[in-house]
Structure 1
Amino acid sequence: MKKIYISFLLVCNLLASGRSIAQDLWPAITKEMKPWTRWWWLGSAVDRPNVERELTLFEKSGFGGVEITPIYGAKGFESNYLSFLSPQWMNMLAVTTDKAGTLGMGVDINLGTGWPFGGPQIKEKDAATKLILDEFELKKGEKITFPLKPKDPKQHYFFLQALRAFRSDNSEIKLDEYISKTTGTWEAPTDIRLLAVFSGRTGQKVKRAAPGGEGYTLDHLGKQSVGSYFNRFAEAFKGKPLHVRAFFNDSYEVYGANWTDDFLQSFEQIKGYKLQDNLLDFAGRGKDEAKTAGLKSDYREVVNALLAQNFLNPFTDFAHRYKAISKNQAHGSPGNLIDLYADADIAECETFGSSSFDIPGLRRDTADIRNVDPDPMMAKFATSATNVYGKKYTSSETFTWLTEHFKTSLSQAKPEVEQLFLAGVNHVFYHGTTYSPQNVPFPGWLFYASVNFVPQNSFWDHLTGLNQYITRVQSILQSSRADNELLIYWPIYDIWNNAKGMDKALKVHDVDDWLHPTEFYKQSVQLQKRGYSFDFATDKILAGTTVNDGELHTSKDAIPYRAIYIPACRYFSEVTLQKILEMANQGATVIFQKLPQAVPGYGQLEERHAMFNKLIASLGFAKDKANQYTAFGKGKIYLTTDVNSALETEDIAPERINQTGLKFSRRVAGKDSYYYLVNHSGQTVDRYITLNAKAAYYSLLDPQTGRTYQLPSADDKIRVQIPSGYSWIVLASERQAKEPFRYQDESIQVAQLDRDWKVRFVAGGPVLPKPQKLDRLSSWTKWGDKDAINFSGTAAFEKTFSIHKDQSKSYLLKLGRVAESARVYINGKDAGVLWSIPFQQDITTLLVDGENKIRIEVANLMANRIRHLDQQKVSWRNYHEINFVNINYKNFDASDWKPMESGLIGPVTLWSY
């Protein structure tokens, strides 16, 4: 039989020719499956016509919803500002939700302005609070006068909460009766060190606040302060149908806030002893560093508990009162991030900066990127919180500071978002889109930290390509659940049980300090490279885990796990250790890299340590022996530095996909298994692979095009043929696509199309350059035309060419270097948007035998036009507050930029196969 090879990119031809292919393998699209965008309302200077116009543009481009965050305004438009939560502002929110509803879109709102939560309703008593631990040296006979004040002269709203005097031998004199004194003195009976605990205020105010949102930052740890904060919203929302899908809380950037006014009472209630009775060691002035570390651990655990109990749980409850859900970014919080992510309905992570990929031709200009590489492992803190509780969505603030302003291409965005998908994120929010009235000249209103996904951006007409890709991938990720074999315990107490510092705010930007050096991180990376899939588990998650037939069930809606792995850590809760042994006794497989050495904290230390030692002894492991295991009830416990051998002994096999250079994520829906495969390597991966999930049939769901194909299999092996920069979704199922996939096994170049092009500039500015006839393709900034050098927009490249079309062949168009995205027409018919590497398209059905016409509409980026504006000293950066800064948070100035390559650079070639 004669073999016919057809490219998997044939799908765009089929779209253009009107042929239909069964789409039943793709889920029905919901608004959540589409990308959403953070919609900055500058000064809340919004009006009905522009709100409705922009929402219509967003929907047409493929967005599923917006997340409104009001911020500072543009200068000169103050008369248009709407005060946050005023009747006028609430009316515009209603206009937004009404219009979004008619478009099938959703609306989330930041439950505040700028960040973090705060505003005019937060008076000093409810403002972000900090521990002030002052030390006073008194000689014998010296006196202190009441009321005692902090040393910091900026503190004018404070409470003295504990007062202790210490002699030179560290013996203590309690001075509790003086705490509330407003007059009088106390005389030192000998040379004294006096320690005073004050509850003070950080003084932080809302960052980037919108009109009507200015004020102190909220005390997130205080029950009364949080209640005061939400009361303002309850009053504004009273009697109004909101039609808001979710309330959002941005990353925890509450600087220096580590206390609340009733912290000591809460501490005693939670930990069972008084922190102030151990003040010398808590302050680090005692001689027992281990005790200091234990006290700090208990303190940090209480901070974590209060953040959940007094802020996040009420936040979620408040959202539910208004038929909305809560969405929270936990990173930066001084607590157990996984648990704090899980306290909201939707856990949201974020990416900041750009990553390095091996994809040939992918631009990464070192001068235009921040010295920050997003770590996909960090995203798994949020996705784990989703997966272990069987929730549906993990969202992400995506592309923050991906590159310098105006220099981000859609092609650069693709692998960055793919890293999030691979980590389990399935609900992407762009960062971001700025509301801008139609009459504001180019570039419109812009936000200082965003990739500007705005209609004024040159790539806007091609953004549908990225949006449709994200929609297809998310349709699978949202319709399935993570299928991960392992739970990996996160040893939070190794972070908390430390004598240094006070609170431990775990920030995205500080992972080099608190995450990367740990065995937890190193082992997680090693297991991932090996081909294992996993989620992270906390003490709280394990406390609620049950065992059935040897599998670990973290919730009724989560896929069960086959083993728990505990990387080397020093501190471990005796309660959690007892729970782990109970699970092993019931049939679970538990693997320790090393046995922990001690319990964390200080309260009831001796009793807890005795229990811990007894539990460790019950394992019967020999000392100083590297690899051991023991049967334990119905289960098994390993103590080994070779986790891979232990897993293979238990017949828990990794996927072999990683050995090909591909990255993967595995999902399940009923009896179906999905593999999301991504090629970030430097070459095409053309290999036979065996998947762990066996099925009667295998199908390719191509997320770049939406087409579905049968994949032939033999002995459970399938062949993948994935170019660098491309991705597949493979479905293992009883269902099957209708059309066979045909691999590209032979290809011959039949035409070189890089000469004799006519170019006409069709949209953009500042002016349209004059048409050109090109002998050879090159960047339009090299043509010696100043108008072209300064131009940002779209140019149409056209030519004719002749081929002898062989009906037994297929034809693949390769554009080569594109700066930065393109839409292709063959003989007047749309062949689709080429917005990312590898910039190639099957055009078989659009070609004719003989003469053919090709038109390629290429859009560059905004950079060259912005450069021209700054060279002409046009005043377009004119905002209150931070105004507009570059990637290093310095004043933005593009006047000395070199022009960026623009247009169709090629070589453009046509291949038959």
Structure 2
Amino acid sequence: MFFPCNACPPMTSRYDLLQSLLLLSALLLGTLACKQEDRAVRTAVSAGAWPEKTQTSKPWTRWWWMGSAVDKDNLSRLLKAYEEAGLGGLEIAPIYGAKGFEDRFLPYLSPEWMEMLHHTVATADSLELGIDLTQGTGWPFGGPMVEPEMAAQRMVMQQHTYSEAEGLDRPILLEDTRAARFDYVLHTVMAYKENESPVNLTDQIDDSGQLSWSATGTWKLIAVFRVQTGQRVKRAAPGGQGFTLDHYSYESVGNYLSHFDSAFGENFPGIRAFYNDSFEVYGADFTQDFFRYFLEKRGYDLRDYLPELLAEEPAERSSRVKSDYRETIHDMLLENFTGQWTDWANQRGKMTKNQAHGSPGNLLDLYARVDIPEGETFGSSYFPIPGIRRDSADIRNVDPDPIMLKFASSAAHLRGKNLVSTETFTWLGEHFKSAFSQAKPELEQAFLAGINHMFYHGVTYSPEEVDFPGWLFYASLNLNTHNSLWPHFRGFNAYIQRVQSVLQSGTPDNELLMYWPVYDVWADLEGVSKMLTVHGIDEWLHPTPFYKGSKLLMEKGYSLDFVSDALIEELQVTEGQLSAADGAYTAQVLVVPGLRYLPLATLERLLSLAEAGATVVFQEQPADVPGFKDYAERREALERIWKTLSFETSASTQVATFGKGKVILSEDLLQGMKLAGLERETLVDQGLRFIRRNLAGERYYYLVNHTAETIATPIPLNQEGEAAVLMAPEQGKVGLAETRRENGKLSVRVHLEPGESLIVHVLRNESQGIPNWHYRVSDPEIRTLESPWKLSFHQGGPGLPKSRQLQKIGPWTESADTLSLHFSGQARYETSLDLKLEQGARYELSLGKVRESARVWINGQEVGFAFGIPFRLDVGDYLKDGINEITVEVANLMANRIRYLDQQGVTWRNYHEINFVNIDYQPFDASSWEVMPSGLVGPVTLEIHH
């Protein structure tokens, strides 16, 4: 959606009338095209069929161009390999290069670099792959086009004293020696004395720092220096080195964007979207025009209150002034960077994809201002799934919290944006030790939080002539074509594609909106700037009633999105339902969790929604208003408006009828939900987790079992329907479920082993022609495949071990053959089974424990991939009476071969910048690793479910 920035200054000469006219058609046509793709929603899907496979339903990946040392032959070869592996698109991210290849480096945005970009886009188009582009190199935005005056700035406040008797205590010169290494100016000098109005002395300081001013008594002076942070682009590519951009300055951002207009000229690349990484602009908390902007936004001059901004001791004035400061920084980031950038891209027919986390702002509003909000999964989560590998030595001490992802998905839902992406698997585990079985539940956790357009982190461009392990990025999953798991990649991608095809269909189906009290966060007395980072959630998120209430409600079976003050202003009420995005999004109840600060305008808006028929639940009475200006009067108005509610008291809960709707006051949120008339999804009591999509009145339930127990039971759904189709995304099987009706609702029989997922499509009408689902039974007949196995090695290195006969199934690393210990690649286990088939039975091949991924053929036909726990495949369609030939190809991790290379002293990590580090950011060395068990551990059985 195109949102003009009314608060922004007029266009500079760089955005003159001629350019505006040239771009008018892109504004009207290109923006419409990219918005149509963003909002594309499938509203009609045949019962018993998977939604259409699309470019965006396939997984995408970040694609690092190391040194931008790319050429057409390798680009074409790799793009074809990516398409064959099931990827839908790539996000180009130029970074530092590999040593020894400097003669191939292409300077960023040079004619040679642009030629490679256009070749990439054209080749990708021919393969139906999409291309996104980071707008800069490395991160964050910046580069050689950023002059010092355009670079990120910070505020250095220095305290002085002036007395009538002794004058100025010392010259007002910058004393921070680190700051003095970069460009700086004395921005403001203010004088303060009790019972006196502050005095602006800026014009009375000369170049030597002397003060030409006289006054009676003793004054405290605060000098504000505007100092360049000095931060340079991290991991920059050749031609992209330079200072980080000042994201708060409208003019600086405009100048930065105009550089791309000049570089691209009339031959603007046919990419889908521009991308911006998480806000890692360290120390940036100021810009030249900040005080004027603050006065316009907050209604008073911050320079009069600099002592409050410096204060660390508890004080109401300081808390309020700091809150206003942080809200202003947010406004500048939203309007001057995020808004201007998105408008610029939309006018050129492109979308924006942005990670708002880490920003010193309201994450919901920042996410809502772009076309594709993007979250991030960083680190490894604990799952009680039996057999899942999680070695504490191989993970970072960071547990991802899926609630963080809901900031991105909520903003998308409320603005009607269909795609919500995520940078997925950043530092999932130590290099070369992460398997699909570990990645799958991590990704499923993101799906449950509303993500539906995942990006791997990631894949590195590597020329064909570079030996194993190829070029690698230091913080990624290293899913390049050299990876021993690569031949099985398309199996995992097919699973993701099926799930995302469902999660991109219809519209989100969440019944609750949870208000995010950002002003409670902004009122923190500690420090000045407040960065809302992924790694700092223990401080700014986890202790809050908002987080605790959201987690409680979701665990009890309620579905919710987060809503900000600005997004509340956009809500409408239709027949008692809250709606947004022109009616494409609806919710039944809005919850205000326990908080201290609530803007007066927000309370007024909440009550107007209630008056129109909405239900609003408060966990407690709002106590105060945020901000400094006229806060006493505003607080009195808040209390006065609250008193207009006539509550009927019952135990700890109060209910007030207000217009056509009602307001509920309940400390117990679960009790509040009952009074609001909401029904929870009781399927969570079985241990299942879910997310729903509304498909033209029908429902998709995406279910996962991340528990340690099998869940085999009828589950009640809070939906009316006549039938349900079960859809298994791991293998793509579809069948009609056993159902029964209870109190007008549907109950569906499911069977999920630990680690499995399932999609339930609830149908409004009975459906004909869909085969019945073949359920597992509790006591299947089990045939153990005990015949001798043939083990042969087909692809990998450092060499291929000899084939052998196994009397008992087991990993190849149990062999005394040292080459087997070093081997990373694919090996095949082959045996046969004599079988007499039974009509109507379900035949399931259980591979037991697999290290790490399996691909199965029966009688020469590919059955599919078993890439995650419980490593099972439905094989009934491939078996025959008599002798059945069974082949199981196992791909292990790269770890053992990397260990061998390091033990042999082979140089394979040789990069500029950070080179290659381990998960603790220390120099990487695998020579002391233990051999990782590899192969088919078993037991391998055929389960016959009669």
Shorter-chain TM range is over 0.9
State yes or no: 1:440 paired with 2:501: no
SS of 1:894's partner is: coil
Partner amino acid, structure 1, of 2:95? I
Q: Pick from 225, 240, 244: which aligns with 1:217?
A: 244
The alpha-carbon deviation at position 754 of structure 1 amounts to 4.3
State yes or no: 1:635 paired with 2:657: no
SS of 1:844's partner is: coil
SS of 1:910's partner is: strand
State yes or no: 1:30 paired with 2:54: yes
Q: Pick from 62, 65, 78: which aligns with 1:41?
A: 65
The alpha-carbon deviation at position 617 of structure 1 amounts to 1.9
What residue is the counterpart of 1:119 in the other structure?
A: 143
The alpha-carbon deviation at position 194 of structure 1 amounts to 1.8
Answer yes or no: is the 8 Å Cα contact 2:65–2:461 preserved in 1: yes
Q: Distance in 1 between matches of 2:466 and 2:395?
A: 29
Total equivalences in the alignment: 891
State yes or no: 1:508 paired with 2:534: yes
State yes or no: 1:657 paired with 2:687: no
SS of 2:68's partner is: coil
Q: Distance in 2 between matches of 1:288 and 1:863?
A: 53
SS of 2:582's partner is: coil
The alpha-carbon deviation at position 622 of structure 1 amounts to 9.4
Partner amino acid, structure 1, of 2:489? L
What residue is the counterpart of 1:198 in the other structure?
A: 225
What residue is the counterpart of 2:756 in the other structure?
A: 726
Partner amino acid, structure 1, of 2:179? K
Partner amino acid, structure 1, of 2:248? L
What residue is the counterpart of 1:582 in the other structure?
A: 608
Structure 1 segment 356-371 matched on structure 2, within 5 A: 356-371=382-397
State yes or no: 1:233 paired with 2:257: no
SS of 1:854's partner is: strand
Partner amino acid, structure 1, of 2:79? L
Answer yes or no: is the 8 Å Cα contact 1:145–1:186 preserved in 2: no
Answer yes or no: is the 8 Å Cα contact 1:144–1:186 preserved in 2: no
What residue is the counterpart of 2:8 in the other structure?
A: none
Residue by residue over 1:628-681, the C-alpha shift from the partner in whole angstroms, topping out at 9 and shown as x without a partner, is 111111111111112222222232111111011111001102122110011111
Answer yes or no: is the 8 Å Cα contact 1:810–1:842 preserved in 2: yes
Structure 1 range deviating more: 42-51 or 737-746: 737-746
The alpha-carbon deviation at position 549 of structure 1 amounts to 1.6
SS of 2:587's partner is: coil
Structure 1 segment 706-855 matched on structure 2, within 5 A: 706-715=732-741, 716-734=746-764, 736=767, 738-745=770-777, 747-754=779-786, 756-807=788-839, 809-855=841-887
Q: Distance in 1 between matches of 2:865 and 2:773?
A: 22
Q: Pick from 306, 312, 320: which aligns with 1:294?
A: 320
The alpha-carbon deviation at position 380 of structure 1 amounts to 0.4
Partner amino acid, structure 2, of 1:729? I
Structure 1 segment 522-561 matched on structure 2, within 5 A: 522-561=548-587
Name the CA shift for 1:281/1:649 in 2 (closer, same or farther; >3 Å): closer
The alpha-carbon deviation at position 625 of structure 1 amounts to 7.7
Structure 1 range deviating more: 668-677 or 696-705: 696-705
What residue is the counterpart of 1:270 in the other structure?
A: 297
Residue by residue over 1:273-315, the C-alpha shift from the partner in whole angstroms, topping out at 9 and shown as x without a partner, is 1000122222228x88100110011111110000011000111
State yes or no: 1:83 paired with 2:107: yes
Name the CA shift for 1:123/1:699 in 2 (closer, same or farther; >3 Å): same
Partner amino acid, structure 1, of 2:477? V
Answer yes or no: is the 8 Å Cα contact 1:290–1:499 preserved in 2: no
State yes or no: 1:347 paired with 2:347: no
Residue by residue over 1:80-116, the C-alpha shift from the partner in whole angstroms, topping out at 9 and shown as x without a partner, is 0000011111110101000000000100000011000
The alpha-carbon deviation at position 750 of structure 1 amounts to 4.5
Structure 1 segment 18-167 matched on structure 2, within 5 A: 25-138=49-162, 140-143=165-168, 148-152=173-177, 154-155=179-180, 156-167=182-193
Q: Pick from 535, 547, 562: which aligns with 1:521?
A: 547
Q: Distance in 2 between matches of 1:593 and 1:568?
A: 5
What residue is the counterpart of 2:349 in the other structure?
A: 323
Answer yes or no: is the 8 Å Cα contact 2:787–2:832 preserved in 1: no
Answer yes or no: is the 8 Å Cα contact 1:564–1:589 preserved in 2: yes
Q: Distance in 1 between matches of 2:473 and 2:54?
A: 29
Partner amino acid, structure 1, of 2:301? K
Q: Distance in 2 between matches of 1:626 and 1:428?
A: 44
Q: Distance in 2 between matches of 1:776 and 1:531?
A: 46
SS of 1:107's partner is: strand
The alpha-carbon deviation at position 193 of structure 1 amounts to 2.6
What residue is the counterpart of 1:280 in the other structure?
A: 307
Structure 1 range deviating more: 384-393 or 542-551: 542-551
The alpha-carbon deviation at position 620 of structure 1 amounts to 4.4
TM-score of the superposed pair, with normalisation by structure 1: 0.95
Name the CA shift for 1:173/1:644 in 2 (closer, same or farther; >3 Å): closer
Q: Distance in 2 between matches of 1:26 and 1:61?
A: 20
What residue is the counterpart of 2:929 in the other structure?
A: 897
SS of 1:211's partner is: coil
Q: Distance in 2 between matches of 1:725 and 1:146?
A: 67
SS of 1:70's partner is: strand
The alpha-carbon deviation at position 150 of structure 1 amounts to 4.8
Name the CA shift for 1:864/1:565 in 2 (closer, same or farther; >3 Å): same
TM-score of the superposed pair, with normalisation by structure 2: 0.92
The alpha-carbon deviation at position 147 of structure 1 amounts to 7.0
Unpaired runs of at least 5, structure 2: 1-44
Q: Distance in 1 between matches of 2:547 and 2:150?
A: 38
Residue by residue over 1:35-75, the C-alpha shift from the partner in whole angstroms, topping out at 9 and shown as x without a partner, is 00000000000000000100000000000000000000000
What residue is the counterpart of 1:178 in the other structure?
A: 203
Partner amino acid, structure 2, of 1:615? I
The share of aligned pairs that are identical, in percent, is: 46
Q: Distance in 2 between matches of 1:380 and 1:346?
A: 13
Name the CA shift for 1:713/1:199 in 2 (closer, same or farther; >3 Å): same
What residue is the counterpart of 1:450 in the other structure?
A: 476
Q: Distance in 1 between matches of 2:942 and 2:48?
A: 33
Partner amino acid, structure 1, of 2:93? T
Structure 1 range deviating more: 606-615 or 427-436: 606-615
Answer yes or no: is the 8 Å Cα contact 1:418–1:678 preserved in 2: yes
Residue by residue over 1:716-774, the C-alpha shift from the partner in whole angstroms, topping out at 9 and shown as x without a partner, is 22111112111111111236361111212264444322452111111000000111221
The alpha-carbon deviation at position 345 of structure 1 amounts to 0.5
State yes or no: 1:254 paired with 2:281: yes
Q: Distance in 2 between matches of 1:698 and 1:758?
A: 43
Q: Distance in 2 between matches of 1:788 and 1:611?
A: 76
What residue is the counterpart of 1:669 in the other structure?
A: 695
Q: Distance in 2 between matches of 1:48 and 1:557?
A: 47
Q: Distance in 2 between matches of 1:830 and 1:28?
A: 23
Structure 1 range deviating more: 187-196 or 809-818: 187-196
RMSD: 2.0
Partner amino acid, structure 2, of 1:793? G
Unpaired runs of at least 5, structure 1: 1-20
The alpha-carbon deviation at position 170 of structure 1 amounts to 6.9
Q: Distance in 1 between matches of 2:527 and 2:937?
A: 55
Structure 1 segment 398-547 matched on structure 2, within 5 A: 398-547=424-573
Name the CA shift for 1:844/1:173 in 2 (closer, same or farther; >3 Å): closer
Answer yes or no: is the 8 Å Cα contact 1:242–1:322 preserved in 2: no
What residue is the counterpart of 1:860 in the other structure?
A: 892
What residue is the counterpart of 2:41 in the other structure?
A: none
Name the CA shift for 1:606/1:809 in 2 (closer, same or farther; >3 Å): closer
Answer yes or no: is the 8 Å Cα contact 1:754–1:906 preserved in 2: no
What residue is the counterpart of 1:7 in the other structure?
A: none
